[in-house]
């Protein structure tokens, strides 16, 4: 037996693996992730390394292969566990071991030798504000005021930014440093990105439901039971308070916690709630940090300087020495699935990591993913659920849920109203604007909405085999992106004969213009991909709206996440069908989540909120149940659809995405791959495709997809393993990139 070993896992060049033979005494004992002692280099220096692969045959320089000396003494180091995690990810999601290792290990990239410098605020909020007004009062301290104001907003700024963009001299900075206001530091210091504030925790008495969830966790923890919990609680039911109490319990035992929060919800306010409770023991990761900054935070975690890491998906790989708990907030968010190989899902990966470490996992959401709710239900044969369900049904501060009106757009057309604003919505907007209250208009557009629907009767053209919407292609055909089924585009509705059948074309910009035209006095803000391109563009718009510098906010799904605007009393969802008929089996689920979240934006303050949902399909269960905020009824309908169609979580789906520059070549390769898959398909997986994905060609690269469906995940993995071997030995695939995606979040 042979093992591939990496010696320096902090180096970017991870693909430097060395092959060793395994002494017979260690066969079967050695695992992927084991730390071993090996003779290394010319002098056979004793060096430690990690096993990343075990194989029967020797691959490289077999005459000269050296033998592993022994397993390293100490118990499995954190690195070993991360290597084992990478091995699992490679197997479970496809890709290479190197790709997996680069995902899980904190790697210090060789950044430009240039040392980056930062300016950090040393004062807390209150002292900072006081100092700022002091500066502002003096004539000659405007530069100091500029720096301080910027620091109060950001905590840390890049040195170059301060000098160039704020036009401040070095002398000013050293004067401020002397005053103890700030510090100039270089990247070598392990930075602490969390800005200090008063660490004060308001004591609150938990609701009965919160207390129950906490007790279940505490009791299990004391008994040594480690498992996955699904904390299903409406927005504002106090889930975050429950997480913090659970984290505190784990910390009592000297263990650490990871809290995953979608990047968009990772706001200053959220971080501060954790800071108030845990102070300096927390740190954060986010995508705006440089590689060096991220690396530093990972090292602080490893060194035991912190106990809680808060961040998006990649924070999952924080190398805590004794991890006790992983919390995944808003666990239904699609951003928890990686779009790079290995295309891992943070939820499953967290559960596997927790198993390796003897930790627990808490998944939280107001609209749980079908996957998680399914796994929290008792199985058909009375099997115990995989996750334990903990429920918070009531809002902790007893605000009322908003009143929801569903407007049937077919009726609007009958009345001769072709505008995107229904009569009802128009009326209510007028009323709110008169009262100086704020309105949010939401267009739940997801990328390319190419489906065809009838504005007179609501009919949507779907694939007869897959029950997802067909997409209009430029060649005048309607195409199914799962199976490739095609039919000619129609110009009259097959159901009612109306000519008003076509695609959805409205965008946020048109809506903004329309609102300005119809309500000339209203101040309108727009938030979408275009208006948020610049750094912090997103936060700036939200802040303007929060400061009531605008009356109407028009936007895409970006506007529905997490923010509290107490003066918003009306939310309009302009075309609920846009996400409902996306060409994707998760369209219903996504729509329910978006509508529920959007509706939750109305009436956060003392005024009661109202919501208008405009749709051509008011009878669709996703819309009906979202209007009632009834998750459980939605779940019941949706899961039966998934079961009938064999979609996840009732079964499993794997996509193989093939991309290449030459279309003919690609087609041939896809056909070969499908034929080979059919030949080895002993377990009778359903093989669909190859089809051209929604975006068939990106930057001159063509794409094809093949789907596999089977009730058992393992069958799909076996299929992947065989196909990977086939691809590797077959020169015909050399110029084609092939990626696997298991239980994809969207179709391609």
Q: Does 496 bind Zn ion (CB under 5 A)?
A: yes
**Beta carbon of residue 381, minimum distance to ligand ADP (angstroms, whole number):** 34
> How remote is the C-alpha of 119 from its chain's centroid?
31
* Residues forming a β-bridge with 17: 6
- Distance of alpha carbon 123 from alpha carbon 436, whole angstroms: 37
Would you say 685 and 710 are in contact if contact means Cβ atoms under 8 Å apart? yes
Q: Does 236 bind ligand ADP (CB under 6 A)?
A: yes
Site size for ligand ADP (CB under 6 A): 14
* Span interacting with Zn ion, options 226-234, 480-488, 672-680, 709-717, rule CB under 5 A: 480-488
Partner touching 422 among ligand ADP, Zn ion, none, CB below 5 to 8 Å by kind: none
Give whichever of 466 and 598 is closer to ligand ADP, judged by the CB atom.
598
User: In 3D, which of 113, 109, 112, 115 has the Cα closest to residue 11?
Assistant: 109
Would you say 607 and 568 are in contact if contact means Cβ atoms under 8 Å apart? no
* Span interacting with ligand ADP, options 150-158, 231-239, 281-289, 616-624, rule CB under 6 A: 231-239
Q: Does 603 bind ligand ADP (CB under 6 A)?
A: no
- Taking CB atoms within 8 Å and a gap of at least 24, the contacts of 97-101 are 97/52, 97/53, 98/14, 98/15, 99/341, 99/342, 100/342, 101/6, 101/9, 101/14, 101/52
Checking phi first, is residue 512 left (phi over 0); if not, alpha (psi -120 to 50) or beta? alpha
- Distance of alpha carbon 325 from alpha carbon 123, whole angstroms: 32
Query: Site for Zn ion (CB under 5 A): which residue of 21, 267, 335, 498?
Result: 498
Q: Does 465 bind Zn ion (CB under 5 A)?
A: yes
Would you say 495 and 459 are in contact if contact means Cβ atoms under 8 Å apart? yes
**Parallel/antiparallel/unpaired status of strands 323-329 and 360-365:** parallel
Give whichever of 460 and 552 is closer to Zn ion, judged by the CB atom.
460
- Distance of alpha carbon 449 from alpha carbon 470, whole angstroms: 10
**Beta carbon of residue 483, minimum distance to Zn ion (angstroms, whole number):** 3
Query: Site for ligand ADP (CB under 6 A): which residue of 49, 106, 238, 660?
Result: 238
Q: Does 241 bind ligand ADP (CB under 6 A)?
A: yes
**Beta carbon of residue 724, minimum distance to Zn ion (angstroms, whole number):** 26
- Distance of alpha carbon 378 from alpha carbon 415, whole angstroms: 49
Would you say 124 and 196 are in contact if contact means Cβ atoms under 8 Å apart? yes
Give whichever of 34 and 240 is closer to ligand ADP, judged by the CB atom.
240
**Beta carbon of residue 353, minimum distance to ligand ADP (angstroms, whole number):** 23
Q: Does 42 bind ligand ADP (CB under 6 A)?
A: no
Give whichever of 267 and 495 is closer to ligand ADP, judged by the CB atom.
267
Would you say 416 and 600 are in contact if contact means Cβ atoms under 8 Å apart? no
User: In 3D, which of 362, 203, 194 has the Cα closest to residue 281?
Assistant: 194
Partner touching 495 among ligand ADP, Zn ion, none, CB below 5 to 8 Å by kind: Zn ion
Q: Does 367 bind ligand ADP (CB under 6 A)?
A: no
Query: Site for Zn ion (CB under 5 A): which residue of 181, 310, 466, 580?
Result: 466
Helical packing angle, 663-679 and 713-729, nearest 10°: 130
- Distance of alpha carbon 132 from alpha carbon 489, whole angstroms: 64
Is the preceding peptide bond at 342 cis, omega within 30 degrees of 0?
A: yes
From residue 375 to residue 414, the character string flagging contacts with ligand ADP as x (rule: CB under 6 A) and all else as - is ---------------------xx-----------------
From residue 175 to residue 214, the character string flagging contacts with ligand ADP as x (rule: CB under 6 A) and all else as - is -----------------------------x-xx--x----
Partner touching 493 among ligand ADP, Zn ion, none, CB below 5 to 8 Å by kind: Zn ion
Give whichever of 240 and 531 is closer to ligand ADP, judged by the CB atom.
240
* Span interacting with Zn ion, options 339-347, 385-393, 477-485, 708-716, rule CB under 5 A: 477-485
Q: Does 604 bind ligand ADP (CB under 6 A)?
A: no
Query: Site for Zn ion (CB under 5 A): which residue of 11, 267, 270, 495?
Result: 495
24 HSE (CA, 13 A, CB side):
0
Q: Does 239 bind ligand ADP (CB under 6 A)?
A: yes
Is the preceding peptide bond at 649 cis, omega within 30 degrees of 0?
A: yes
Which positions lie near ligand ADP, rule CB under 6 A?
204, 206-207, 210, 233, 235-241, 396-397
Which positions lie near Zn ion, rule CB under 5 A?
454, 456-457, 459, 463, 465-466, 480, 482-483, 485, 493, 495-496, 498
């Amino acid at each position: 037996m042979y093992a591939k070993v990496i010696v320096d896992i902090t180096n970017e060049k991870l693909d430097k693996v060395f092959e060793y033979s395994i002494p017979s005494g260690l066969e079967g004992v050695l695992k992927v992730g084991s730390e071993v002692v090996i003779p290394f280099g010319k002098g056979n220096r004793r060096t430690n390394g990690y096993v990343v692969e075990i194989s029967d045959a020797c691959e490289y320089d077999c005459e000269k292969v050296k033998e592993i000396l022994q397993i390293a003494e100490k118990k499995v180091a954190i690195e070993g566990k991360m290597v084992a995690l990478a091995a699992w990810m490679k197997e479970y999601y496809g890709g290479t071991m190197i790709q997996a290792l680069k995902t899980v290990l904190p790697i210090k990239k060789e950044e430009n030798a240039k040392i980056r410098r930062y300016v950090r605020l040393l004062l807390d909020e209150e002292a900072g504000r006081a100092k700022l007004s002091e500066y502002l009062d003096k004539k000659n301290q405007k530069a100091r005021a500029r720096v301080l104001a910027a620091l109060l907003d950001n905590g840390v700024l890049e040195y170059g930014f301060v000098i160039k963009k704020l036009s401040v001299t070095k002398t000013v900075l050293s004067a401020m440093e002397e005053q103890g206001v700030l510090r100039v530091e270089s990247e070598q210091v392990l930075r602490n990105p969390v800005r200090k504030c008063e660490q004060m925790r308001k004591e609150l008495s938990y609701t009965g439901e919160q207390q129950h969830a906490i007790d279940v966790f505490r009791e299990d923890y004391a008994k040594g039971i480690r498992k996955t919990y699904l904390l299903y609680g409406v927005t504002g039911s106090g889930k975050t308070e429950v997480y913090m109490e659970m984290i505190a319990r784990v910390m009592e035992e000297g263990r650490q916690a990871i809290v995953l929060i979608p990047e968009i919800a990772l706001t200053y306010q959220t971080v501060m709630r954790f800071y108030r409770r845990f102070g300096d023991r927390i740190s954060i990761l986010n995508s705006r940090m440089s590689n060096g900054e991220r690396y530093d935070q990972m090292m602080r975690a490893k060194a035991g300087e912190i106990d809680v890491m808060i961040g998006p998906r990649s924070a999952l790989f924080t190398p805590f020495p004794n991890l006790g708990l992983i919390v995944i907030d808003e666990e239904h968010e699609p951003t928890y699935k990686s779009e790079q190989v290995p295309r891992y899902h943070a939820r499953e990966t967290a559960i596997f990591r927790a198993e390796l470490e003897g930790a627990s996992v808490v998944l939280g959401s107001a609209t749980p993913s079908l996957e998680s709710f399914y796994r929290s239900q008792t199985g058909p044969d009375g099997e115990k659920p995989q996750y334990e369900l903990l429920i918070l049904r009531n809002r902790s501060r007893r605000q009322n849920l908003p009143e929801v009106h569903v407007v049937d757009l077919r009726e609007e057309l009958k009345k001769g109203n072709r505008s995107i604003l229904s009569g009802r919505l128009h009326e209510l907007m007028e009323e709110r604007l008169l009262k100086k209250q704020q309105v949010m208009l939401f267009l739940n557009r997801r990328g390319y909405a190419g489906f065809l629907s009838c504005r007179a009767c609501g009919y949507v053209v779907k694939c007869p085999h897959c029950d997802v919407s067909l997409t209009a292609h430029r060649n005048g055909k309607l195409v199914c992106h799962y199976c490739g089924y095609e039919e000619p585009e129609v110009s009259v509705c097959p159901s009612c004969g109306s000519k008003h059948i076509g695609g959805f074309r409205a965008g946020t910009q048109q809506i903004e213009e329309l609102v300005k035209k119809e309500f000339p006095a209203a101040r309108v803000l727009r938030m979408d991909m275009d208006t948020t391109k610049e750094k912090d563009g997103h936060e700036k718009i939200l802040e303007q709206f929060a400061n009531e510098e605008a009356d109407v906010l028009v936007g895409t799904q970006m506007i529905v996440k997490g923010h509290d605007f107490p003066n918003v009393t009306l939310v309009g969802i302009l075309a609920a069908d846009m996400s409902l008929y996306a060409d994707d089996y998760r369209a219903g689920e996504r729509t329910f989540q978006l509508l529920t979240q959007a509706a939750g934006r109305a009436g956060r303050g003392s005024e009661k909120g109202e919501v208008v949902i405009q749709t051509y399909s008011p009878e669709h269960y996703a819309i009906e149940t979202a209007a009632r905020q009834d998750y459980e009824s939605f779940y019941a309908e949706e899961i039966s659809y998934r079961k009938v169609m064999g979609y996840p979580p009732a079964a499993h789906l794997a996509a193989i995405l093939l991309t290449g520059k030459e279309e003919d070549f690609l087609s041939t390769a896809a056909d070969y791959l499908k034929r080979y898959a059919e030949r080895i398909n002993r377990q009778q997986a359903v093989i669909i495709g190859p089809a051209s994905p929604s975006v068939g060609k990106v930057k001159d690269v063509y794409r094809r997809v093949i789907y596999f469906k089977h009730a058992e995940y393992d069958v799909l993995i076996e299929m992947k393993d065989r196909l990977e071997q086939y691809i590797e030995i077959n020169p015909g695939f050399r110029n084609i990139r092939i990626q696997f995606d298991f239980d994809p979040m969207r179709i391609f």
